[in-house]
A and B are shown apart, each in its own frame.
Chain A
Amino acid sequence: MNSSRAYPIGGIVIAAAFLLLAPKILPAMKVHLATEVLIYALWAVSFNLLFGHGGLLPFGFGAPFGVGAYATALLFRYFAGIPLLPTLALVAMLGFATGITIGSLSVRLKGAYFALITFAFQMFLYAIALKWYNVTQGDDGFGVTRPSLYLPVWGNISMTNIADVYYFTLAIVFLAILATYFFQKTPLGNSIALVRENDVRPSFLGYNVYLIRLTVFSVACLLAALAGGLFVFFNEFVSTAVIDMNVSMIVLLMVIIGGSDHFLGPILGAAFYVLVQDWLSSLTSRWFLIMGAIFIVVVFYLEGGLISLIPSKRSQVGATPERG
């Protein structure tokens, strides 16, 4: 084994060991943060499936996340004792349906126009969440009880312990991110990269550009809704904060900070965001000022994101593709 391959494999082993042992070695507060990182990582990866891989900027990506969050919360509330895994499966399907609905009206457009339209749809859903007080309790939000997990061999696991919540989240997020990784390698997943580079040529080659975009958009929405569901499962609370303007900025910030050209960039960005926010909010209440400043700095000085600071062979191959 030469040194250039030992480097990433060593990294994977260390990361896997850390993720598996985290609840054993970290204090409970930090396990909470780690769970949050995992959930945001899934969301950021699904965002980047469209953004980095597909060349589309879904500015309103809080929409599927919020739909997933509210659907989970409402299922938990109105169907007490509902099993956990089928709930998440249902929520993911709902996310897919949301993706088809929004996507069918928006994926014809590109660049700023696509961004604007997805954002307007998110604000539409935000308005419903805010105003339909009887169901959503608007700004105030409502709490839910985390259901227990039933597994065939282990039986019922109560999910009151943060370590159990962490391991469950880790398992779901790991499987979902792995699935995303392999989805990108399938012919369908590859064709979206083709469309990103040039959307006229593929249509002459017989690809249905609209259908490719719509499918990938819906898959990304499915993953985002799953992340939203996990978010409510973890927090046991939902309010309009899961679907307002800021959540779209948060996910964009995570992906941009981490670096959108690399599959692992958004995961790094999610970790960075959660940890820095945790640290900063203990120092200052002017969090938005700093977030805005981070945006400006990243645009001007750190176009490749944090992942571009890690020297590797891959990041030097080819120029950054222009999106638009």
Chain B
Amino acid sequence: MGAFETFAVQAMHGLVYGMLIFMVASGLTLVLGMAGVLNIAHAALYMLGAYFAYSLTLYLGSFWLGLMISPLLVALVAIFIERFFLRKTYAKGHVPQILLTFGLLYVISEIVRMVWGTSPLRLFEPPILTGDIPFMGKTYPIYRLFIIGFSFLILIGMLLFLMRTRIGIIIRAAVHDADMVGALGINVPIYLFGVYAGGAMLAALAGVIAAPFLTIFSGMGDQILLDCFVVIIVGGFGSLLGAFMASVMVGQLQSFGVLWIPQLALVFEFLLMAVVLAVRPTGLFGEEA
């Protein structure tokens, strides 16, 4: 096995993880850009997506039904959280929001432990996606190729939606300057509500497709939350393009970090963050704070 093949396989692994991070971070960064809310409970939605899919697959017998229904259920949870908790803190500033969403993360994680137990769960990929295919003289799991394909479809859909539709243009304008968009007579809270639910669905989708290869456990939210933080800081607050670039970078850093220096794989992405912060405190694509 040559060095190039190993390199290619690791790059693919990195891309898989990078796309997962992006699906979670995109909703987080859009809400941060529009409302200035750092919604830490977003990580809990990713986790809930995986757990819901596990139970749905168990009772309905189909991974695909789980993949479709679980995001809808998570969106309902997200709407409930926004309506009854987050909305009341928009006027209060950052500190209560961070406290509140962290409290929600704790509560949801504990409820998950009560309902599904503390031992890790395994969601099996559907038979059609099981196995490996030949890839550059080695084999590569089909399921990971599916993740790459699926997440790129989502990415393209998101781009078309945000760039080509009126709603998308309003959302991007609101990220840029929510007050001005509101002054133009547009009901920004409704759009924020939509972005919030959409982001929740994306996070849940990421949770579902991550489940078969990362296993489901009650700390999975904390893990991705950290990567999302790094992605948002590196990419720039509220910048979707920045989030995408940073997700891919973090994915690759993790993948190659594990290959070269397993002990310090986690350290690389924080080094990246420190370098970006030192050079550009607002992140790669962030506006001046």
> Which residues of A come within 8 Å of B, CB atoms?
51, 57, 59, 105-106, 108-113, 115-117, 119-121, 123-124, 127-128, 130-133, 245, 249, 252, 256, 286, 288-289, 291-296, 298-300, 303, 322-324
- A292 touches which of B104, B222, B229, B277 (Cβ 8 Å): B104
Which listed residue, B85, B99, B274, B289, touches A256 by the CB 8 Å rule? B99
Binding site for A on B (CB under 8 A): 32, 36-38, 85, 88-89, 92-100, 102-107, 109-111, 114, 222, 226, 229-230, 232-233, 237, 263-267, 270, 273-274, 277-278, 281, 289
Across the two chains, which residue of chain B brings its CB closest to A295? B103
- B229 x A120 contact (CB < 8 A): yes
Contacts of A292 in B (CB 8 A): 102-107, 110
Q: Are B278 and A296 in contact (CB under 8 A)?
A: no
Once the chains bind, are B85 and A323 in contact (CB under 8 Å)? no
Which residue in A111, A119, A124, A256 is a CB contact (below 8 Å) of B94? A111
- Are the C-beta atoms of B263 and A119 separated by less than 8 Å? no
Contact indicator B99/A323 (Cβ below 8 Å): no
Question: In the bound complex, do residue A298 and residue B38 qualify as a contact, i.e. CB atoms below 8 Å apart?
Answer: no
The listed residue (B96, B264, B281) touching A109 by CB distance below 8 A is: B281
Q: Which 10 A-B pairs have the closest CB atoms?
A: A295-B103, A292-B106, A124-B270, A127-B266, A292-B107, A289-B110, A112-B38, A292-B103, A112-B94, A111-B94
- Pick the contact of A131 from B99, B229, B266, B289 — CB < 8 Å? B266
Given A131-B263, A323-B93, residue A288 in contact with residue B102 (CB < 8 A): no
Select one of A51, A111, A249 contacting B102, CB under 8 A: A249
**A112-B88 CB under 8 A given contacts A131-B264, A292-B106, A323-B95:** no
Set of chain A residues within 8 Å of B88, measured between Cβ atoms: 300
Most-contacted residue by chain A among B32, B85, B222, B274 (CB, 10 A): B274
- Residues from chain B with Cβ under 8 Å of A124 in the complex: 266-267, 270, 273-274
Question: In this complex, what residue of B is CB-closest to A102?
Answer: B274
A296 touches B281 (CB 8 A): no
Task: Specify which chain A residues have a CB less than 8 angstroms from the CB of B289 in the assembled complex.
Answer: 108-110, 113
- Determine if A128 and B267 form an interchain contact, defined as CB atoms under 8 angstroms apart: yes
Q: Can you list 26 A-B pairs with a CB-CB distance of less than 8 A? A: A57-B95, A105-B274, A111-B36, A112-B32, A112-B94, A112-B97, A115-B94, A116-B38, A120-B226, A121-B274, A124-B266, A124-B270, A127-B267, A131-B263, A133-B263, A249-B102, A286-B114, A288-B107, A288-B109, A292-B107, A292-B110, A293-B107, A303-B96, A322-B93, A323-B95, A324-B94
